[in-house]
Amino acid sequence: MLSPPKTPLEAVTHPDPGPYYAHLATDTPFYFDTKLQSWVASSAAAVTEVLGSDLCRVRPPSEPIPAALFGSSAATLFGTLVRMTDEASHAVLKKSVSRALEGRDSSRWSAHWAGVLLPLEGWQTLPWTLPSYVMGSLLGVAETDLAQMPKLLKKLAYCFSPRSGPNELERGKQAAAELLTRLEVLLLEPQGLLASLERELAAQGRAVLVANAVGLLWQAFEATAGLLASGLLRLSQNPELRTTLKTNPTQITDFSLEVLRTHSPIQNTRSYVARAGVLAGQRVQAGDAVLLLLAAANLDSRVNPDPLCFELGRRNRTLFTFGIGPHTCPGQVLALSIAGAGLLECLRSRIDFLEVQQGLTYRTSVNARLPVWTEVSS
């Protein structure tokens, strides 16, 4: 019998963390974890309260940029991303980026690159290439340069991980510099989404514009890869779902939303208390950290009845994967479009779904649940 995770961080890469998360959401909605030295919010109500509280910030007030990134292009990038800002600056950036993304249709590029990449590279690699190919195309990256995007974004993702060593940090800093340079060049003749971002972020300055264009690539890379890979895993476990989606491909969005609920690509995020006050009935102090278990809130039976049951047609689905309130991710529609196109292409291509359950592992991470297979795990 599989032992449950021992901590919320161990749950991120555990083979089956669902029962553990559901238990936390019901029995320990907001508590202080002495091992993590952090408050933990696990219920839908607690996560909602913390995400909407003016007591909290997305970064520690004393360290808005990770010290390990100081003096590098990665620090410049990190410090100007919309998701890493707070208060007035965040509100302005969020509205601008959201307007640039509004109505942006990625379906053509998603279908095109899914059809090209699947036979070329195989289903094992598709989750890690398709998102950056689509986002790169939307931003105007030349087709000849698209193959470099997943490699650079993988290095950048490791750079932002608190578990990265000196070599990974250095490679990530170099990747940040190269990505910023490539987007700067594209701004000489901006097209598509990049042109929209330029119009919306004109008042914010060129550095903010370029950083948030790279940020869209980075966020799409990991979160959408996790959604697509977890969707493949779910399909491999349920032949009836495969038949249903082949017959009714319009249900792919509902399927993807339920994958996001039960296999959240981003399992947790953090908030930092800026001033003393009360959160979820507990007294918190300035400097306290709060670990928000988005994956547990998704499995809170008070908002999603029978939470461990995968229901394609679930009514009134409540989803925390993309955040809520002022820090809701504006890229949800794009992520669903990209992942949906990849999953449908895999269904049409009749890949061997029995192989999907073989050689499966999870990339080491403290917050992202990213299935990988042995052929592409290095």
Q: Look up the CATH number of the domain holding residue 148.
A: 1.10.630.10
Residue 342 placed within a domain? yes
Residue range of the domain that includes 218: 8-376
pLDDT value at residue 378: 40
Q: CA 160, 217, 295 angle in degrees (round to 5)?
A: 65
Separation of alpha carbons 292 and 270, rounded Å = 6
pLDDT value at residue 376: 47
Residue 88 placed within a domain? yes
Residue 1 placed within a domain? no
Separation of alpha carbons 64 and 86, rounded Å = 10
Residue 365 placed within a domain? yes
DSSP letters of 11-54?
HTT-S--HHHHHHHHHH-SEEEETTTTEEEE-SHHHHHHHHH-T
Residue 81 placed within a domain? yes
φ and ψ at residue 311, rounded to 5 degrees: -115, 110
**Beta carbons of 134 and 113 less than 8 angstroms apart:** yes
293: left (phi over 0), alpha (psi -120 to 50) or beta: beta
Write out the H or E segment, with its range, that includes residue 225.
helix 225-237
Residue 2 placed within a domain? no
Q: Which positions ≥6 away from 282 have C-beta within 8 Å?
A: 30, 32, 39
**Beta carbons of 355 and 250 less than 8 angstroms apart:** no
Residue 198 placed within a domain? yes
Q: Which two tokens stand for residue 18?
A: 């669902």
**Beta carbons of 326 and 317 less than 8 angstroms apart:** no
Residue 304 placed within a domain? yes
Q: Which two tokens stand for residue 5?
A: 């995770």
pTM for this model (two decimals): 0.94
- For the chain, how many structural domains are there in total? 1
Q: What is the pLDDT along the chain (378 residues), one digit of tens a residue?
A: 789 999 999 999 999 999 999 999 999 999 999 999 999 999 999 999 999 999 999 889 888 888 889 889 998 888 877 777 766 666 777 788 889 988 888 999 999 999 999 999 999 999 999 999 999 999 999 999 999 999 999 999 888 887 788 899 999 999 999 999 999 999 999 999 999 999 998 888 888 899 989 989 988 888 999 999 999 999 999 999 999 999 999 999 999 999 999 999 999 999 999 999 999 999 999 999 999 999 999 999 999 999 999 999 999 999 999 988 776 787 888 999 999 999 999 999 989 999 998 999 999 899 999 999 975 444
Q: Which two tokens stand for residue 10?
A: 């161990």
Q: Which positions ≥6 away from 45 have C-beta within 8 Å?
A: 29, 280, 300, 302
pLDDT value at residue 197: 94
